[in-house]
Structure 1
């Protein structure tokens, strides 16, 4: 475990309810470690498809927090909660980074694909992937903290 990964986790095995709560520093290696841990735990509980969709959405959002939320600031904590809800998995991410532009989740429009391959942009794909993977995506700024909540459906949309 990473030294900067303070773990507050509770999970029950089998068919009983489980919940994951983690607090970690907004650093690329910490995000990678958290995603690896979640992947191992989720694959058996959710099946490979749902676990992969959850990992994709979490990777995009958490890496955005690291890259943009704490850009130009000293790194800070990220609180992540994952818990089952009816028909899916609820994910909640809280950080103290910069607020999202216009205090809302970016629209996530795909970049123009009608260009030569070498002219395709490197970035600009993340929020479109998130929006296409999750449901109920919400954002709010509360007491200087960003709160992003979304649901991973158990079956693809």
Structure 2
């Protein structure tokens, strides 16, 4: 089994550090692939990150952010609850976004456009679908939104929904 991941969502997108956990017999092949495809990443970044992990800072960061993200997701879920007829809230199981599905009569791209005009970035689920044309809704990210900003952002989302439905 081979595991591939990144620290972009856990720490910072700008870090641009990923990892591969592979069986020992594949390590030379992965080293060769990295050498051939590396963009000249600074060698001190992985070393600093390794120390950060070894000293327990990553685990502490993950524990702290997990609780904070759970609070944000629950707050957003509570604000969305009255829209149960129009929007189906996905499970709040952790992570940095909440999925909200809508029926196919909602033009999620129009809502995203109305949201953009109101300063709210919405990712329409219909953009991610190739084989199906009936999927509508949004992936609502909240990792960069402190709790105190969520009610205002939600009010702008509600306005965007109303504006898109009215047209």
- Indicate the TM-score class for this superposition, using the shorter chain for normalisation: 0.3 to 0.5
Give the TM-score, by structure 1 length.
Answer: 0.33
Give the TM-score, by structure 2 length.
Answer: 0.31
Largest Rg, 1 or 2 = 2
Q: Which protein has greater RCO, CA pairs closer than 8 Å, 6+ apart?
A: 1
